[in-house]
Amino acid sequence: MLEIHNLSISFQRNRASFDRETLSVVSDISLSVQPGEIVALIGASGAGKSLVAHALLGLLPANATMSGEFIFKGKRLSPAGIQELRGREIALIPQSVTHLNPLTRVGKQVYRSARLSGRCADTAHTSCDRTFARYQLADTVKSMYPFQISRGMARRVLTATATAGNANLIIADEPTTGLDPEVSEQSLAHLKELATQGKGVVLITHDLENGVQIADTLVVLYEGMTVEITPARALEENDLIMHPYTRSLWQALPRNGFMSLPPTPSSSTLNRNGCLFAERCPQARPGCRQSAPSLRRVNHKLVRCNHVAG
Amino acid sequence: MKTSAIIHSFWLQKVGRLMLTLALVATLAFTLVNLSPVDPVTAYLGMDRMQIGQEQEQLIVARWGLDKGPVERFFLWTGNALKGDLGRSMIFNEPVTEVIAKRFLTSLNLMACAWLLSGIFGFVLGVLSGLYKNSLLDRCIRLYAYTVASTPSFWMGMVLLAIFSVQLGITPISGAYPPGTTSADATMWQHLHHLLLPAATLSVIGIAQIALHTREKMIDAMNSNYALFAMAQGDSRFGVAVHQALRNIALPAITLQFASLGELFGGSVLAEQVFSYPGLGKATVDAGIRGDVPLLLGITLFSAIFVFGGNTVADLLYTKLDPRITNRSEPL
Ligand SMILES: Nc1ncnc2c1ncn2[C@@H]1O[C@H](COP(=O)(O)OP(=O)(O)OP(=O)(O)O)[C@@H](O)[C@H]1O
Ligand code: SF4
Ligand SMILES: [Mg+2]
């Protein structure tokens, strides 16, 4: 359904008046999503997860440049083509309530989204009502402003707004951040439900647990780079072949005893010649700092590490 | 119950602050006037001193305590002011309150025109400029705004006067109605005709400032998270501007517009001077130049109230129009 090939994103930053600096934040990410599949994009804060979603939708900020290509339903996406697909074919469930207009009532925003996806005034109202019912939002919520609703409700409103148009590919950005366990469970269940209906789902999260719970495929990002692409159940089956970063995330999970890594070095001191993870990698060897590893196929997964063997 | 308490305290606070402001302004103005080397008796009686009799002069001197020290005079003046008597203007030979009322009505036409023109055009230009950032349109608007925003209003007035009144002769040189007529028998069209240039002078600069301010707000709004989400739903940039951005930038713009009445007042003083427009601004300059102390003090107090009123309306609008404040006490 969706293929991303070699996506790189960088930012132009003015340091002094004539001194321009190019900051590479996403490099060479490739992934694919099938209908009915949930692909989890996992990475720490600032790894570039949201930017991947924004790039796909053609909504990067003006000072960003990107390269790479997107193939949606077999066709290469052009900037003009993506405009047609937004909301109708590809929907984004954004990261926080700040993505709702603070001065517009919630009901009106869901209705507008339905209208934008190409419905006429009448069917937009019924589809709006239906989404409200599906996400257990009371009718009174319609007349509320975003600042009046709880976090859990906001999550459901965002999901309702994004899915009012019945898109086939759903990108959910951090659907569980800041929610208590029960509500976040519910939020994930909604995504699972969308996948069961045959929609492709990209789940963006910093929490490996989320991915392991509902995703089919995990794409692990480190500093804007894919370090591993693996079937989700491989982790549950305690597969020992994995990238050291993925392993550290896995071991940091509550159920595995919170073993955590030394803190991330700041990106400015990051050695870009060798493996980006070398400073924190428990398995690092001298050679890791000299040559950057490339993504290698090891059995049924892709790993960016020189020292993982099948 | 709770809401009415909030409203109550709002007004209580406002009235308290107004009183404090007026007291400060009055003290300051009075002090400044007394520091200036004008003999108080001459200042209060002006040219009339030759004409009025000794007895009457004594009466006025007693009433305003002109033979007393400045502190005592201040309290006498304050006492009279509290009773609504601001004294007599020497240059107009009328009670100060009447001069202010009449002159303010004349100025009101001018200020209202300039206020509406600059508010509406400034906002529209700012929205377009921000929406089509870096386009040719935006560059033209910015060039205009930056050039004009740094221009003094009296100079702008003289340039317009030189072009439209002197060179082209399509607008009158001065006044609020044709010379030889009175305000009452001048037609509406004649009034408007005389209003044209002073209002343009005032708004040309106002437009620039408001456009630049609105442009920044518009750019922020178009880069906001809610704009991104709306575009992700398939909306066009124009649709996002109309449905999302506009309501978010209109609120601060309206508030700012009311809060800027002080600047408008200041601008009108200069513009009225250039065009000899017989409004409150010209009266202020005349009172200053000819040492009409009662009028000067009266106008100072009045302008303080005027600006304060503008700010209060701004506050009120903000609380009324922004649902985040209006609905604060509402239960979820
Ligand atoms: N407009 C911008 N200009 C410069 N740098 C930017 C800009 N937007 C994002 N970045 C940088 O890109 C990096 C990735 O941002 P992104 O929002 O994709 O992170 P994320 O993985 O979604 O993190 P989070 O979990 O915090 O949402 C960040 O480190 C940020 O500093
Ligand atoms: S290449 Fe070396 S440093 Fe990098 S993850 Fe593999 S073992 Fe660690
Ligand atoms: Mg993010």
Q: What is the DSSP letter of A289?
A: G
CA distance B278 to B118: 22
Is the CB of residue A206 below 6 angstroms from any atom belonging to ligand 1?
A: yes
Strands (E), B193-322: none
Angle between helices B261-274 and B188-222 (to 10 degrees): 140
CA distance A308 to A298: 8
Å from CA of A245 to ligand 3 middle: 20
With cut-offs at 50, 70 and 90, classify the pLDDT of residue B45.
low
> Is B155 inside any structural domain?
yes
> Minimum-distance ligand to the CA of A7?
1
Residue whose entry in the numeric block shows the structure tokens 């050695």: A271
With cut-offs at 50, 70 and 90, classify the pLDDT of residue B185.
confident
Q: Is the pLDDT of residue B332 over 50?
A: no
The residues facing A297 across adjacent strands are A302
Candidates A92, A100, A149; nearest CB to B226: A100
The residues facing B112 across adjacent strands are none
CA distance A56 to A36: 19
- Closest approach of B253 to chain A, Cα-based (Å): 15
User: Who wins on pLDDT, A75 or B182?
Assistant: A75
CA distance A29 to A11: 16
* Helix, coil or strand: residue A22: strand
Asked if residue A144 lies in contact with residue A105, where contact means CB atoms within 8 angstroms, the answer is yes
The residues facing A292 across adjacent strands are none
Task: Supply A39's token pair.
Answer: 């692909």
CA A221 to chain centre: 10
Q: Domains of chain A (ranges plus CATH)?
A: 2-89+168-303 (3.40.50.300)
CA distance B106 to B87: 21
pLDDT value at position B71? 82
> Is B139 inside any structural domain?
yes
Q: What whole-number percentage of chain B has pLDDT above 70?
A: 91
CA B124 to chain centre: 22
> Is B275 inside any structural domain?
yes
Instruction: Give residue B290's domain range.
Output: 96-321
Cα four-point dihedral sign B241, B245, B251, B256: negative
H/E element, A230: strand A225-231
CA distance B327 to A148: 9
Q: Do A57 and B232 touch (CB under 8 A)?
A: yes
Q: What whole-number percentage of chain B has pLDDT above 90?
A: 38
| Number of domains observed in the structure of chain B | 1
Q: Which of A106, A124, A127 is nearest to A115 (CA)?
A: A124
Minimum-distance ligand 1 atom for the alpha carbon of A47: 21
> Is B196 inside any structural domain?
yes
pLDDT value at position B244? 93
Asked if residue B249 lies in contact with residue B257, where contact means CB atoms within 8 angstroms, the answer is no
Q: What is the mean pLDDT of residues B292-306?
A: 90
CA distance B138 to B269: 32
pLDDT value at position A9? 94
Cα four-point dihedral sign B39, B44, B50, B55: negative
pLDDT value at position B61? 75
CA distance A210 to A201: 13
> Is B260 inside any structural domain?
yes
CA distance B97 to B234: 60
Q: Do B229 and A161 touch (CB under 8 A)?
A: yes
> Is B53 inside any structural domain?
no
Closest residue on chain A to B233 (Cα): A87
Residue whose entry in the numeric block shows the structure tokens 């976040």: A184
> Is B26 inside any structural domain?
no
Output the domain CATH number for residue B142: 1.10.3720.10
The residues facing A72 across adjacent strands are A2, A75
> Minimum-distance ligand to the CA of A245?
2
Minimum-distance ligand 2 atom for the alpha carbon of A245: 5
Q: What is the pLDDT of residues B60-75, one digit of tens each?
A: 777 777 777 778 888 8
Q: Which residues of chain A have pLDDT under 50?
A: none
CA distance B201 to B266: 13
Burial class, B133, CB count within 10 angstroms (exposed 0-12 / middle 13-18 / buried 19+):
middle
The bridge status of strand A20-33 relative to strand A200-205 is unpaired
User: Who wins on pLDDT, A205 or B45?
Assistant: A205
The bridge status of strand A200-205 relative to strand A169-173 is parallel
Asked if residue B249 lies in contact with residue B188, where contact means CB atoms within 8 angstroms, the answer is no
CA distance B227 to B130: 14
Residue whose entry in the numeric block shows the structure tokens 């030979």: B93
Q: What is the DSSP letter of A140?
A: G
pLDDT value at position A57? 94
Q: Is the pLDDT of residue B280 over 70?
A: yes
Q: What is the mean pLDDT of chain B?
A: 86
- Closest approach of A256 to chain B, Cα-based (Å): 36
Gyration radius (Cα) of chain A, Å: 20
Q: What is the pLDDT of residues B206-243, one digit of tens each?
A: 899 899 999 999 999 999 999 999 999 999 999 999 99
Asked if residue B326 lies in contact with residue A145, where contact means CB atoms within 8 angstroms, the answer is no
Q: What is the pLDDT of residues B309-323, one digit of tens each?
A: 999 988 888 888 888
pLDDT value at position A38? 96
Cα four-point dihedral sign B91, B95, B97, B100: negative
CA distance A251 to B266: 69
Candidates A99, A117, A162; nearest CB to B226: A99
Residues of B with CB under 8 A from a CB of A: 223-226, 228-236, 239, 243-244, 247-248, 251, 322-324, 327, 330, 332
> Is B229 inside any structural domain?
yes
Task: Supply A103's token pair.
Answer: 């001065």
CA distance B108 to B178: 19
Residues of A with CB under 8 A from a CB of B: 54, 57, 59, 61, 83, 86-88, 91-92, 94, 96, 98-104, 112-113, 116-117, 144-145, 147-150, 161-162, 165
Q: What is the pLDDT of residues B96-125, one digit of tens each?
A: 999 999 999 999 989 999 999 999 999 999
Task: Supply A182's token pair.
Answer: 């029960």
Report every protein residue that has its C-beta within 5 angstroms of ion ligand 3: A 50
Angle between helices B188-222 and B153-160 (to 10 degrees): 130
Candidates B223, B226, B322; nearest CB to A101: B226
Task: Supply B33's token pair.
Answer: 């006037």
Å from CA of A51 to ligand 1 middle: 7
